[in-house]
Amino acid sequence: MSEESGNPGPGAELGPFRIGNRLGVGGMGIVFQALDTHLNRQVALKIITPHIGEDADFRARFTREAQAQASLDSPHVVQVYSFGEADGRLYIASQLIPDGDLGQMLHKHGRPPARIAVNLISQVADGLSDAHNAGLIHRDIKPANVLLRNREGQLHAYLGDFGIARQVGASQLTQAGGTVGTPSYMAPELHLGGEAGPASDIYSLGCLLWATLSGKAPYVGSTDYQVVMAHVEKPIPQLALTGPLAAEINRVLRTAMAKNPAERYRSAAAMRDDLKNVVRLPDDPTPARPADGAATTPVPAQPWSFAPLPTPTPTPTPTPSPVSQAPAAPAFQTPSPPPPSFSSTPPGGYHPTPTPSSSGSGGGSGAGKAGWVVAVVLVLLLAGGAVLAAVLISGGDDNGGGGGGGGGSSETAGPTDSGTGGGETGDREEQAAQALRDDIVADDPTTDPASADCIARGIVREVGVDKLVEIGVLTDDLEVNQAAGNPEDAAELVSPMLTVTFECIGSLIETPSS
């Protein structure tokens, strides 16, 4: 009967349940697949560790919370069928979800496409909203506690394991089983001794979204202390800006994972509704990926295509940012006309604040500093245009790159690959290069995008982000400065611009023969 430490093994009986295979071990007990012999139904049976079950405070909380969970009626929360005590052991019997958990899926198959990740977390948010409405705080949202069912080619997510949940407003009873929560997914205020509530669950849900997008927890470290301090101090992780979908996901991450609980979504329902709006966006031209690039990738024959997704329908006219209930990221000026209804936001986890230098249009009196820079670039491109056009017509590649400017598409090596140390610095260089490139193309749509990309990256590499901000070409938020200015202030750009522009033109000309 005994498998280990007095725990029942396969074939043993506990009350009305016949024990089957062991499914997992948690801080409070062991979970088995079991047969409810009264109803002839397979269940997930958690048997509480004896020394924890003997604690009087725990038993009181176990009964109260099991009753609350059993009353939950949610399509995205694991249903509790029964609970009780048999042979001196506390147990709780729940719905058996057969296809493993999100953590196992990520480990086996890598991260899913961005819209599928958003879709899955919107389902979890729906379940969390139902739990909060029933008065329950989960306190341990993480990939291992999200179970998945593949039914007729569709992935359904269920929030489970409320083993350390408590009711809203209930007294904080002693946790006999150890640490409350998982440090990698806990809100900053919990690390600092604060009390769990709906806002801390929402933060954990934001961490879960990032883990699903990237295949890893938002903050890592060699010690728990390093992880804790990262949650408290480090910027919120962001996707590289590959298009409107990535920009909107970044906004959701910044709202859900705001360091200040008051700045997060007001409810799990608000986050759910926002996610459902985001999942309707079309995929970006380039697949969304973490800005730091350190993420797992899907493997062949991965199952992520099974997630149920609505057909994306682009909105023809501008609309307000989705979900009026959720705190909106501050708007700011974009370097080129944005797609309708979507606001572009920068990576790095900071809400941009408009400054006098970034909010002006420059008026109609002539080009500002950035306009002068773009004008020089366009003249230089025109000078090499005849040769370049001839090469492209004869079979050149529009996406050719390389050369001194690190050109090509946004996937090719550029300023972020030039030994800057990566991380936040690389993100700033990437954002600065994208802003310059977009402004060049916006000023003259006939400009070859590969040339503009190559030149923008080269200028950032040769001059540096800080210098571009200092002389007023870029604002503090790394947007192109459209305010009027004197081109003489940026005279030191002439030499690197000449070098970079002709190197990029030359690299594109040489590409077909390489």
Quick check: is 318 in a domain?
no
The answer to whether residues 37 and 115 belong to one domain is no
Quick check: is 326 in a domain?
no
CATH of the domain at 192: 1.10.510.10
Residue 492's pLDDT is 58
Structure tokens at 147: 């179970």
Quick check: is 347 in a domain?
no
The answer to whether residues 145 and 251 belong to one domain is yes
The answer to whether residues 60 and 133 belong to one domain is no
Q: What is the mean pLDDT of the chain?
A: 73
- 4-18, 296-310, 395-409 — which is least confidently predicted? 395-409
Quick check: is 350 in a domain?
no
The answer to whether residues 422 and 496 belong to one domain is yes
Spatial CB neighbours of 335, under 8 Å, sequence gap ≥ 6:
434, 435, 436, 438, 439, 442, 479, 480
The answer to whether residues 450 and 504 belong to one domain is yes
Residue 241's pLDDT is 93
The answer to whether residues 148 and 25 belong to one domain is no
CA 441/CA 387 separation, integer angstroms: 20
Output the 3-class SS for 369-419.
HHHHHHHHHHHHHHHHHHHHHHHHHCCCCCCCCECCCCECCCCCCCHHHCC
User: Averaging pLDDT over each range in 52-61, 266-275, 392-401, 404-413, which range is the top one?
Assistant: 266-275
Spatial CB neighbours of 276, under 8 Å, sequence gap ≥ 6:
122
The answer to whether residues 12 and 118 belong to one domain is no
Q: How confident is the model at residue 278 (pLDDT cuts 50, 70, 90)?
A: very high
Spatial contact of 112 and 214, defined as CB atoms under 8 Å apart: no
CA 97/CA 157 separation, integer angstroms: 9
CA 173/CA 176 separation, integer angstroms: 9
Examine the fold and report which residue of 77, 95, 113 is the final residue of a domain before the chain moves on.
Answer: 95
Quick check: is 173 in a domain?
no
The answer to whether residues 75 and 224 belong to one domain is no
Residue 347's pLDDT is 35
Quick check: is 262 in a domain?
yes
Examine the fold and report which residue of 95, 111, 146 is the final residue of a domain before the chain moves on.
Answer: 95
CA 116/CA 212 separation, integer angstroms: 9
pLDDT at 410 over 80: no
Residue 382's pLDDT is 52
The answer to whether residues 278 and 397 belong to one domain is no
pLDDT at 344 over 70: no
Spatial contact of 227 and 179, defined as CB atoms under 8 Å apart: no
What type of residue is 375? A
DSSP string covering 257-303 = T-SSGGGS-SSHHHHHHHHHHHTTSPPPSS---BTT-----PPTT-S
Spatial contact of 209 and 252, defined as CB atoms under 8 Å apart: yes
The answer to whether residues 267 and 125 belong to one domain is yes
Burial of 70 by CB count in 10 Å (0-12 exposed, 13-18 middle, 19+ buried)?
middle
The answer to whether residues 91 and 107 belong to one domain is no
Q: What CA dihedral angle connects 338, 341, 345 and 350, to 10 degrees? A: 160
pLDDT digits (tens, 9 = 90+) for 92-110: 999 999 888 999 999 988 8
pLDDT at 484 over 90: no
25 backbone dihedrals φ, ψ, rounded to 5°: -125, 135
> Is residue 140 annotated as part of the catalytic site, yes or no?
yes
CA 290/CA 211 separation, integer angstroms: 10
Q: How confident is the model at residue 249 (pLDDT cuts 50, 70, 90)?
A: very high
CATH of the domain at 72: 3.30.200.20
CA 264/CA 248 separation, integer angstroms: 15
Structure-model confidence comparison of residues 34 and 342, the more confident one: 34
Spatial CB neighbours of 147, under 8 Å, sequence gap ≥ 6:
78, 97, 99, 100, 101, 102, 157, 158, 160
Closest CA to 343 of 315, 363, 367: 315
- 182-196, 378-392, 425-439, 453-467 — which is least confidently predicted? 378-392
Quick check: is 323 in a domain?
no
Residue 20's pLDDT is 94
Quick check: is 378 in a domain?
yes
The answer to whether residues 153 and 43 belong to one domain is no
pLDDT at 423 over 80: no
- 45-59, 86-100, 172-186, 329-343 — which is least confidently predicted? 329-343
pLDDT at 314 over 60: no
pLDDT at 439 over 90: no
The DSSP 8-state label assigned to residue 488 in this structure reads G
Domain extent for 201:
102-168+181-306
Structure tokens at 94: 């729940």
Closest CA to 201 of 282, 270, 129, 253: 129
Of these residues, 130, 140, 292, 443, which one is catalytic? 140
Examine the fold and report which residue of 65, 95, 125 is the final residue of a domain before the chain moves on.
Answer: 95
Domains identified in the chain, total number: 3
